[in-house]
């Protein structure tokens, strides 16, 4: 700082210095004398490169900050217009037990809401309306999915000026493209001149030269190679989504691709333990589902939104779930097949009651609760409560014009296993498979531990011992309850009568006296009161289940044959009784369906849509 300026500042009074300070902050109008001295002081300050000196405006009004009246630029909102975008399809897996379904429902806890929140948080989409979103299936509350497919237009990391050949290479999620940037021109000399000019203008000596170690060379740098890759959508989204929602893979698709209309089929799996179910009878009943049928009696009718209940079922099979029956890694890598070694080892195994089976059903589309209704009827067939032909009767809407009421099968075992497309292949990447394997193994370990704890409790109960006389009394009451409930329901349980074949008292006594005595002296659950021998509860269970076809259930509900139940109103009568908003929705739906049948939703339209898919 110049000595004269410093001397003049030291001669100022406290009031004059405050006036000068207020001039800088804009709090008050300073005196002309203080303003002049302050300007000299500020001019004498050293200037840091890239910054500017504060200025003092003597005409500034008291209480008004500099630039206050000028409109200030608000930070720009995110806009996809600045980036390249691409239409992609993603495969989504989720455990639906904690959600109210897949599709968005305002602020409800749905899978789709979490997907949109993750896409918005990562700035992959701008909003829901403009992202060209579509989904293949719409699962209900509690239903899970392994092969759900969605399509969405997302932000891309690819530069806008890439050549066409680069875009072709980068269609693959793992694609890489190298570009060569031109050589950079060194601007050391020009920078040095500008620095010298600044030093001359400020009256200061030029800065010292940098050492040779840090000095930049005047030799132009050579061309640089840059590798272009796409964002890792899978990892990004899986880090943002809840633990029970996972992205399995993605691929780029054509702009006209629709996850809904481009799908060729949808496959569901429903898992259940074998127990004492008649698997052969269930499979026979499932064969009646094949083909094109009206499934109004095997679904929950959404009258206001659905007018056509005919659906095509391509396959329906009851089969054992064998997750470990796959070829070893060596055969996969080297293209050899060792399937013969697996087929012999799995067919000779005797099924246990907890052996897992599944219904695997595939069709073009499914109605509301359709698979759960089908499983409810198949369970009745497997338990011997209905004949397999009951499925055929329910599909005959001329004779069965109304749906007989029955309880839906549980939603938890139902999984949307696969969505089929004629022209879509979503590749897998090893790093994602590694992450997903660790993720699912951790979840499986938790379920296995929970299952072991339940089995431990069940084994304790089965090892308990009870007296023979108590068993005889219990079995007699159990059989009486079965017979009374059947008579009250107005029918006879043929299976029970055929297997029992004896009067109630005699049957109960026979079960108690012929049960082998295998009591354990180590158990603490003994009920020996000196009145007779004891039997193990596990042996009693086996006799009751086999001889009387009775299962231990918490609440007994008598079964009435489906065809003897009072049927619900027919579809036509339900439509005639519609009123208010539901009637208006139905009328709009009928109008839109008629318009689509003549303009859009024609066979040519669906044929064109099925051709859409991976690029």
Report the pLDDT averaged over residues 571-597. Answer: 79
Report the pLDDT averaged over residues 314-333. Answer: 72
Q: Which has the minimum average pLDDT: 218-227, 301-310, 479-488?
A: 479-488
pLDDT of residue 498: 42
pLDDT, one tens digit per residue, over 395-404 is 999 999 999 9
pLDDT of residue 186: 55
pLDDT of residue 483: 63
pLDDT of residue 491: 44
Alpha carbon distance 415, 405 (integer Å): 24
Tokens representing 76?
């720009």
- Say if residues 409 and 136 touch (Cβ distance below 8 Å): no
Q: Tell which wins on pLDDT, 345 or 36.
A: 36
Say if residue 347's pLDDT is above 70: no
- Report helix, strand or coil for 332: helix
Between strands 144-155 and 245-252, the pairing is unpaired
- Say if residues 556 and 486 touch (Cβ distance below 8 Å): no
Domains in the chain (CATH in brackets) are: 3-44 (no CATH), 84-163+233-262+423-443+578-615 (3.30.70.580), 264-337+349-421 (3.30.70.660), 464-563 (no CATH)
Please compute, for residue 61, the number of CA atoms within 13 A of its CA located in the half-sphere on the CB side: 4
- Say if residues 57 and 67 touch (Cβ distance below 8 Å): no
**Average pLDDT taken over every residue of the chain:** 76
pLDDT of residue 14: 61
pLDDT of residue 518: 36
Q: Tell which wins on pLDDT, 361 or 60.
A: 361
Burial of 12 (0-12, 13-18, 19+ CB in 10 A): middle
pLDDT of residue 211: 52
**Helix, strand, coil proportions of the chain in percent (round to 5)?**
40, 15, 45
Say if residue 104's pLDDT is above 50: yes
Closest alpha carbon to 403 in 303, 313, 475: 303
| CA 131 to chain CA centroid, nearest Å | 19
Say if residue 434's pLDDT is above 80: yes
pLDDT of residue 529: 45
Report the pLDDT averaged over residues 593-598. Answer: 68
Alpha carbon distance 168, 150 (integer Å): 22
Q: Tell which wins on pLDDT, 339 or 599.
A: 599
- pLDDT bin (cut points 50, 70, 90) of residue 223 is confident
Q: Which has the minimum average pLDDT: 119-128, 211-220, 551-560?
A: 211-220
Q: Tell which wins on pLDDT, 342 or 573.
A: 573
pLDDT, one tens digit per residue, over 458-510 is 999 999 998 888 888 887 777 777 665 555 444 444 444 444 433 333 333 44
- Say if residues 229 and 75 touch (Cβ distance below 8 Å): no
pLDDT, one tens digit per residue, over 507-545 is 334 444 444 433 333 334 444 444 568 888 888 888 777
Report the pLDDT averaged over residues 312-336. Answer: 72
Alpha carbon distance 463, 379 (integer Å): 29
pTM of the model: 0.72
Q: Tell which wins on pLDDT, 319 or 550.
A: 319
What beta strand segments (E) does 441-569 contain?
Answer: 465-467, 534-536
Q: What are phi and psi of 565, to 5 degrees?
A: -85, 155
The residue count for the chain: 615
Alpha carbon distance 367, 487 (integer Å): 36
Report the pLDDT averaged over residues 146-167. Answer: 90
Say which of 106, 140, 161, 302 is annotated catalytic.
Answer: 140
Say if residue 358's pLDDT is above 80: yes
User: What Rg do the C-alpha atoms of the chain give, in angstroms?
Assistant: 39
Tell me, yes or no, if 140 is annotated catalytic: yes
pLDDT of residue 504: 34
pLDDT, one tens digit per residue, over 60-103 is 444 444 444 444 444 556 777 888 999 999 999 999 999 999 99
Please report, rounded to a whole number, the percentage of residues in the chain having pLDDT higher than 70: 65
- Write b or e for each residue in 135-148: b if 16 or more Cβ atoms lie within 10 A of its Cβ, otherwise e: bbbebbebbbbbbb
Tokens representing 72?
């200030």
Report the pLDDT averaged over residues 107-117. Answer: 90
Q: Tell which wins on pLDDT, 578 or 183.
A: 578
- Write b or e for each residue in 359-371: b if 16 or more Cβ atoms lie within 10 A of its Cβ, otherwise e: bbbbbeebbebbb
- pLDDT bin (cut points 50, 70, 90) of residue 612 is confident
């Amino acid at each position: 700082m110049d000595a004269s300026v410093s001397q003049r500042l030291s001669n100022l009074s406290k009031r004059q210095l405050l006036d000068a300070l207020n001039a800088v902050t804009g709090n008050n109008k300073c005196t002309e004398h203080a303003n002049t001295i302050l300007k000299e002081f500020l001019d004498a300050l050293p200037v840091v490169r890239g910054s500017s000196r504060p200025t003092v405006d003597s005409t500034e009004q008291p209480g008004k900050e500099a630039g206050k009246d000028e409109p200030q630029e608000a930070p720009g909102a995110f806009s996809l217009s600045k980036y390249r975008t691409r239409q992609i399809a993603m495969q989504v897996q989720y455990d639906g037990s904690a959600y109210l379904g897949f599709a968005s429902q305002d602020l409800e806890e749905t899978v789709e809401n979490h997907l949109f929140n993750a896409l918005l948080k990562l700035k992959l989409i701008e909003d829901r309306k403009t992202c060209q979103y579509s989904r293949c299936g719409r699962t209900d509350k509690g239903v899970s999915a392994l092969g759900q497919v969605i399509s969405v237009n997302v932000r891309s990391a690819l530069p806008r000026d890439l050549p066409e050949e680069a875009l072709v290479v980068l269609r693959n999620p793992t694609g890489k493209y190298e570009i060569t940037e031109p050589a950079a021109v060194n601007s050391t000399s020009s920078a040095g001149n500008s620095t010298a000019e600044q030093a001359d203008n400020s009256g200061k000596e030029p800065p010292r030269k940098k050492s040779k170690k840090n000095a930049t060379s005047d030799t132009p740098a050579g061309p640089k190679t840059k590798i272009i890759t796409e964002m890792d959508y899978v990892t990004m989204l899986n880090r943002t989504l809840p633990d029970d929602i996972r992205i399995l893979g993605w691929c780029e698709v054509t702009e006209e691709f629709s996850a809904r209309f481009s799908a060729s089929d949808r496959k569901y799996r429903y898992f259940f333990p074998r127990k004492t179910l008649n698997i052969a009878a269930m499979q026979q009943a499932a064969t009646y589902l094949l083909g094109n049928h009206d499934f109004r009696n095997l679904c929950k009718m959404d009258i206001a939104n659905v007018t056509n209940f005919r659906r095509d079922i391509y396959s329906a099979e009851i089969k054992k779930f064998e997750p470990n029956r796959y070829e070893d890694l060596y055969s996969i890598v080297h293209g050899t097949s060792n399937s013969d070694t697996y087929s012999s080892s799995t067919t000779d195994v005797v099924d246990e009651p907890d052996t897992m089976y599944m219904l695997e059903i595939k069709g073009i589309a499914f109605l509301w609760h359709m698979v759960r209704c089908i499983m409810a009827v198949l369970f009745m067939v497997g338990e011997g409560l209905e004949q397999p032909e009951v499925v055929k009767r329910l599909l005959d809407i001329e004779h069965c014009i109304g749906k007989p009421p029955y309880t839906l099968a549980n939603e938890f075992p139902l999984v949307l296993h696969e969505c089929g497309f004629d022209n879509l292949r979503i590749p897998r990447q090893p790093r994602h498979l590694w992450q997903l394997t660790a993720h699912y193994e951790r979840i499986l370990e938790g379920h296995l531990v929970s299952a072991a704890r339940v089995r431990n409790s069940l084994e304790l109960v089965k090892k308990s011992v009870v007296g023979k006389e108590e068993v005889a009394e219990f079995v007699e009451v159990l059989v009486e309850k079965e017979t009374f409930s059947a008579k009250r329901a107005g029918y006879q349980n043929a299976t029970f009568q055929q297997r029992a074949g004896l009067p109630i008292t005699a049957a109960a006594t026979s079960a108690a006296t012929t049960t082998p005595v295998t009591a354990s002296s180590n158990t603490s659950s003994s009920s020996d009161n000196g009145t007779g021998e004891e039997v193990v509860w596990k042996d009693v269970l086996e006799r009751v289940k086999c001889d009387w076809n009775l299962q231990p259930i918490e609440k007994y509900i008598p079964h009435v044959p489906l065809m003897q139940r009072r049927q619900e109103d027919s579809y036509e009568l339900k439509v005639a009784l519609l009123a208010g908003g539901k009637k208006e929705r139905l009328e709009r739906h009928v109008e839109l369906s008629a318009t689509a049948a003549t303009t859009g939703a024609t066979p040519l339209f669906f044929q064109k849509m099925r051709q859409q898919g991976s690029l």
